[in-house]
Amino acid sequence: MENGTDRPAASTRAVEIGVAAVILLFGLVVVIDSFRIGARWGDDGPQPGYFPFYVGLLICISSAMILLRAARNAALAAESFVSREELKKILTVFVPTVVYTSLIAYLGFYLASTLYIAYFMWQLGKYSWIKTVPVSVGVSVAFFLIFEIWFSVPLPKGPLEAALGLN
């Protein structure tokens, strides 16, 4: 994607600083919570926050170093972390994945997976329904046979399995 029309969606420096800031925040949370439950020497040994306190401290120090180094590096600002075109591609996969995982709780694993695979094939692969339906249903049936029957590992089920009496 090295063409002129494809502008960067974010510079490497911006993402580097953003990620380091999130890590720094996480480190602070760890330090504060460890301090709350006691990060010093108790009556019978180290208090529960003793070890995590130093872990949090090291997170803060290292992320602060990364942040400062990125902020001073002007070359990183010109570098593209992800272009718009790439970001679009990633989102066309990522958004359905988020929808898929949240649907599992309502539709059950197998129905949600069938819909997810079918969506992918239809939307991204431009397959006709003649190919999409057998492949997506076939994969889910195969998973059902492998997990429920062969390994007897139950996966979450929904209204479809209830209607078919497979629970």
Partner 1 sequence: MEEINALLQGFGVALSPLNLMLMFVGVILGIIIGVLPGLGGANGVAILLPLTFSMAQQPGGTTSAIILLSCIYWGALFGGAITSILFNIPGEPWSVATTFDGHPLAQQGRAGSALTAAFTSSFVGALIAVIMITFLSPVVAGFALKFGPPEFFAVYLLTFCAFVGMSGGNAAKTVASMMIGFALAAVGLDSVTGTLRLTFGFTSLLKGFDFLIAVIGLFGIGEILETLEEGLAFKGASAKINAKVVLETWKELPKYWATSLRSAAVGCFMGIVPGGATPASFMSYGLARRLSKDGKNFGNGVVEGVVAPETAAHAAGTSALLPMITLGVPGSPTAAVLLGGLLIWGLQPGPLLFVEKPDFVWGLIASMYLGNIAGLIVVLTCVPLFAAILRIPFSIIAPVIIVICAIGAYTVHNSMFDVYLMVIFGVIGYAFKKLGYPLAPMVLALVLGDRAEENFRNAIKGSQGDLAVFFSNGLVGGLTALALFLLFWPLIRTLLRALQGKRAG
The residues in 137-166 that bind partner 1, with binding defined as CB under 8 A, are 139, 143, 147, 151-156
Q: Judged by CB under 8 A, which of 98, 130, 149, 163 binds partner 1? A: 98
Residue 103 within binding range of partner 1, rule CB under 8 A: no
**Among 107, 108, 116, 161, which residue sits at the site for partner 1 (rule: CB under 8 A)?**
116
DSSP 127-139: --HHHHHHHHHHH
Residue-by-residue DSSP string for 12-73: HHHHHHHHHHHHHHHHHHHHHHHHHH--SEETTEE-TTHHHHHHHHHHHHHHHHHHHHHHH-
Q: Which is nearer to partner 1, 48 or 162 (CB)?
A: 48
Query: Which listed residue (82, 133, 137, 160) binds partner 1 by CB under 8 A?
Result: 82
Is 167 a binding residue for partner 1 by CB under 8 A? The answer is no
Minimum distance from residue 29 beta carbon to partner 1 (Å): 8
Q: Is residue 94 near partner 1 by the rule CB under 8 A?
A: yes
Q: Round to whole Å and give the CA distance between 139 and 52.
A: 44
Judge whether 147 and 153 are in contact, CB under 8 Å: yes
